[in-house]
């Protein structure tokens, strides 16, 4: 059996916070951004990650590539434990794991041309390449993401949002990585442009054999691009399953609420469908609820939910559907 491209076990991210007015002896507060996340990513697979704002999706993405400090285990290709590496040791894996960011324009250096932006990873990881070879690689990659090679000397502000995101994708792909982490790459784009960028990512994935971690708020987009979907709430995994299984048979109350809010194109069905409304707001990660973190908003919560943390358990034998709930359907 082939080892997964990425295996994550008990990944935790905690930030120590001190306010400006705190005394030297004041104990720092702890913000629990990600708490004990487990998943695997196969080669050529897309894992979608969904959840409300503040649930830890972006922090999880940054922890995977060591942009924030984390505890736990992140094993790359069944061999290397990434969290235990020094910055210098991690460098050789930077070309294999790349990231596409949420804000297309803000993620690009406004003082550099498009050619310089896309070429930067290539110069870092392949310093032996000549200037002529780098220009040829950059132009070829621009064509792959549907940008004109003669735009190589333009600056980011001369492009639209969708074009800027294509530049970000080209920058990530120029070193031929095995895995791309997409942190809400289409949330700042118009709906029509979103579809173009999503289809581009899917085409490039098929052509280059990429694995994707795709983070988004829009469950319709996640359903379109993902093979499996993981649902996060307050830094913890509520449910993880194959895409069709999760959308057709959501077992966690939080997943059921999220999916019930997805618009249906057919007006009659949309008017008659039942929408599950969650009461209250997302709890503060500075003081997460005891037991199940979702219990303060869950219609099924009992005293047991406040006392025991539900484990992420597999359903029927042979199923990959896992849910963390004492009373899952």
Residue 320 CA to residue 262 CA, distance in Å, equals 24
pLDDT in tens, 104-161: 888 999 999 999 999 999 999 999 999 999 999 999 999 999 999 999 999 999 999 9
CATH number for the segment(s) 6-17+30-104+179-323: 3.40.50.300
pLDDT in tens, 19-29: 766 667 677 78
Buried b (16+ CB within 10 A) or exposed e, 291-305: bbbbbbbbeebeeeb
pLDDT in tens, 154-199: 999 999 999 999 999 999 999 999 999 999 999 888 888 999 999 9
pLDDT in tens, 80-89: 999 989 988 9
Residue 121 CA to residue 207 CA, distance in Å, equals 21
- Please state the domain extents for the chain: 6-17+30-104+179-323
Does the global pTM surpass 0.85?
yes
Helix or strand or coil: residue 68?
coil
Cα three-residue angle 301-298-277, rounded to 5 degrees: 150
Half-sphere exposure of 27 (CA within 13 A, CB side): 3
| Helix, strand and coil in the chain, % to nearest 5 | 35, 20, 45
Q: Which residue has the tokens 């621009």?
A: 142
Non-local (6+) Cβ contacts of 154 within 8 A are 113, 114
From the number of C-beta atoms within 10 Å of its C-beta (0-12, 13-18, 19+), residue 218 rates as: middle
């Amino acid at each position: 059996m082939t080892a997964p491209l990425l295996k994550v076990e008990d990944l935790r991210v905690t930030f120590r916070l001190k306010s400006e007015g705190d005394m030297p002896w004041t104990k720092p507060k702890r913000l629990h951004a990600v708490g004990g996340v487990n998943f695997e990513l196969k080669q050529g697979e897309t894992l979608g990650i969904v959840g409300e704002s503040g649930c830890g999706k972006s922090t999880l993405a940054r922890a995977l590539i060591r942009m924030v400090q984390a505890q736990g285990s992140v094993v790359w290709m069944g061999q290397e434990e990434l969290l235990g590496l020094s910055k210098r040791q991690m460098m050789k894996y930077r070309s294999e794991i790349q990231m596409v960011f949420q804000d297309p324009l803000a993620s690009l250096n406004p003082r550099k041309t498009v050619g310089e932006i896309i070429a930067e990873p290539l110069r870092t990881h392949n310093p032996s390449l000549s200037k002529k070879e780098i220009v040829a690689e950059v132009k070829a990659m621009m064509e792959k993401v549907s940008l004109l090679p003669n735009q190589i000397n333009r600056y980011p502000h001369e492009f639209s949002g969708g074009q800027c995101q294509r530049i970000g994708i080209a920058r990530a792909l120029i070193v031929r990585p095995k895995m791309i982490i997409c942190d809400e790459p289409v949330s700042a784009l118009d709906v029509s442009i979103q579809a173009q960028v999503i289809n581009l990512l899917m085409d490039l994935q098929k052509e280059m054999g990429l694995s994707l971690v795709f983070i988004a708020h829009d469950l319709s987009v996640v359903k379109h691009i993902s093979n499996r979907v993981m649902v996060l709430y307050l830094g913890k995994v509520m449910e993880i399953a194959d895409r069709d299984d999760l959308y057709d048979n959501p077992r966690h109350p939080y997943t059921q609420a999220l999916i019930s809010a997805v618009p249906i194109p057919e007006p009659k069905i949309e008017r008659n469908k039942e929408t599950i409304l969650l009461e209250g707001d997302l709890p503060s990660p500075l003081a997460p609820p005891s037991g199940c973190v979702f219990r303060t908003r869950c219609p099924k919560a009992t005293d047991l939910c406040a006392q025991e943390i539900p484990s992420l358990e597999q359903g029927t034998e042979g199923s990959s559907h896992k849910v963390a709930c004492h009373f899952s359907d």
